[in-house]
A and B are shown apart, each in its own frame.
Chain A
Amino acid sequence: MSRTVPSATPSRPLPKSSGRPNQLFRNLNSKIALTPMILVAAVVFFGGTIWTVIYSFTNSRLLPRASFVGFDQYERLWASSRWIISIQNLLVYGILSLIFSLVVGFVLAALMDQKIRFESAFRTIFLYPFALSFIVTGLVWQWILNPEFGVQGIVRSLGWTSFTFDPLYNPDIVIYGILIAGLWQGTGLVMCLMLAGLRGIDEDIWKAARVDGIPMWRTYIFVVIPMMRPVFITTLVLIGSGIVKLYDLVVAQTSGGPGNASEVPAKYVYDYMFQAQNLGQGFAASTMMLLTVAIIIIPWAYLEFGGKKRG
């Protein structure tokens, strides 16, 4: 057992001739215990990412080969109509799901915060989809949006025979069909985060606003929402990094169809890596995904951790 005293300031300089054990053996057990984490962080997360980025500049096909071709893979990627569609879909899905889940999540949370009855029942209902997998979500909504038996069929059987609502079979609006399912799955989480944020607002703020005769909606917009900025930013980052990973939902609900109208980048990566045996394309596409996440994360991390030192 290592008997050195753990110090809160690990980098404290040690007197040279103190006769204490070598710096390397300080907290040896701790280092042994952290070996798996260090290996994972260094080899898989750091090493793996670098490896993929490097090999995205090669013309690897069935197996990774280190013959470099510069930006060829990227040129091919951006010339591919399937990739362009994927990016467009991700943009539409991303922007709309950000707006809707933030607005709906906040409105639901604000309503839940009015000291209502059955609050926990409502919360249970709003949050349960989040426990389900995207595969289950996708398959349920595939069934509900089935044009023959689902919503469209029912409205038609009620007498409105020209009613059309078949998002999963119409290339122009298929992404909205996926959006409906995605929102169903994820808004509960946003609601929960927002509710926690609202509960963190000081009661006195509300009292002060009431004394000043400010209507409730104005208090929300001009006082409460600005105060909840950290909650909004965290939620934004969470939803944002989730959107980029969008994959299972599309696979289950449409398999990318009709045609390739609902393709997304993550599916492009998987298909090129493991089905089309065109590794180079897969690496290039996944590097683009990494870049997208970096664009979301870095400003946030800078804002969050840049100014103050955290321990």
Chain B
Amino acid sequence: MANVSTLNATGAAIDAVRTEIAAGPRGKKPKKVLSGRNVMIYGILGLAALYYLLPLYVMVVTSLKGMPEVRLGNIFSPPMEITFEPWVKAWAEACTGLNCDGLSRGFWNSVRILVPSVIVSIAVASVSGYALANWRFKGSELFFSVLIIGAFIPYQVMIYPLVIILREIGIYGSLTGLVIVHTIFGMPILTLLFRNYFAGLPEELFKAARIDGAGFWQIYGRIMLPMSLPIFVVAIIIQVTGIWNDFLFGVVFTRPDTYPMTVQLNNIVNSVQGVKEYNVNMAATLLTGAVPLIVYFVSGRLFVRGIAAGAVKG
């Protein structure tokens, strides 16, 4: 009897071990955690991470300090007294020239530029990419090559002719003009992106739809669009960050009352008049960086994919 009970006990123990083995290893690998190799790898990566995080930290810390504390010195020390006044001031009171209604004006200008630019540029580019991938005709590849080469031409070369064109049409200086400019310069990369994506879809789908009698727009709307949600998200990420961060087009193609946020930010911080309020400047800088940062942190992996898509070649 005793034998059976010990047997049972060992059996139970064996079973327990078995399930444990089946569940796979638990906890850390039984490797030396503090091997010299690991210390080096994590040490270097940690130091690099510190260098990358430092500016963000400095921005946040400075923007939460009062001016007397900023003048006291150390930009790295955390604020002794947290104040949100610089943020309020940056948003609503900071001056550029004679206007003293803060960055809010630039923010809303940027939103008014961003929304139509993103929609129009993606609409045009996705249709172009679709036509190039599935409906080629004589010369279409040639124009596509010119477009891609155009992506490498410095903007400075094409800016002035564009100013003349927009002036002739009568929309130079307006938000509409800037939307058109963003659409134009977003086209190469976006068209490339969509063309490659559509070309990668199974051709049978397209052929089947053709046999069923669907036309150009029908195939686009009913087959291509529903299948390409991820690439649209990638395109939106590229465009939102790109257009929001633009400075050159903003400064060339708008007037002071329609300046986008980046241009206004630069004017606020680098204005020569008045006392420099570093905490307000940093709050304003953070506010301007907030939109792309939020896009970045929310989109995560897709952002990386967007960058990679921007980087891949034809």
| Minimal Cβ-Cβ distance residue in A for B146 | A41
Q: Are B143 and A48 in contact (CB under 8 A)?
A: no
Q: Which of B256-282 contact A (CB under 8 A)?
A: 262, 265-266, 269-270, 278, 281-282
Closest to A43 in B: B165
Interface contacts (Cβ under 8 Å), in number, total: 281
Contact (Cβ within 8 A) A2 B154: no
- Select which of B71, B157, B295 is within 8 A of A286 by beta carbon: B157
Residues in B with CB closer than 8 Å to A120 are 300
B74 near A126 (CB under 8 angstroms)?
no
Asked if residues A11 and B143 are in contact (CB atoms below 8 Å), the reply is no
Bound state CA distance, A293 and B58, in angstroms? 36
- Chain A residues 267 to 311 lying within 8 A of chain B, measured CB to CB, are 269-270, 273-274, 279, 282-283, 285-287, 289-290, 293, 297, 304-305, 310
Interface size on B, as a range, is 35 or more
CB distance from A254 to the nearest CB of B (A): 9
Within the complex, the shortest CB–CB distance from A265 to chain B, in Å, comes to: 8
Contact A132 B289, CB 8 Å, known A140-B58, A189-B307: yes
Q: Are B136 and A8 in contact (CB under 8 A)?
A: yes
Say yes or no: is A38 at the interface (Cβ < 8 Å to chain B). yes
Partner pick for A293 among B48, B73, B153, B162, CB 8 A cutoff: B153
Is B74 a contact of A157 with CB atoms below 8 Å?
yes
Q: Is the interface of B mostly helix, strand, loop or mixed?
A: helix
Asked if A192 and B140 make an inter-chain contact with CB atoms under 8 angstroms apart, the answer reads no
**Which of A73-81, A159-167, A239-247 is found at the contact surface with chain B?**
A239-247
Residues 148-175 (chain B) with a chain A CB within 8 angstroms? 149-150, 152-162, 164-165
In the complex, the chain A residue whose C-beta lies closest to that of B191 is A37
Task: Give the Cβ gap from A123 to chain B, nearest Cβ, in Å.
Answer: 7
- A108: interface (CB < 8 Å): yes
Other than the known A33-B127, A184-B51, what 20 A-B pairs have Cβ atoms closer than 8 Å? Answer: A10-B137, A27-B137, A33-B216, A38-B143, A42-B143, A43-B165, A45-B150, A48-B157, A48-B162, A49-B157, A52-B158, A126-B49, A136-B245, A136-B285, A143-B59, A192-B304, A247-B247, A282-B156, A293-B154, A305-B314
**Which 4 pairs between the two chains have the least Cβ-Cβ distance?**
A45-B150, A1-B215, A133-B245, A30-B135
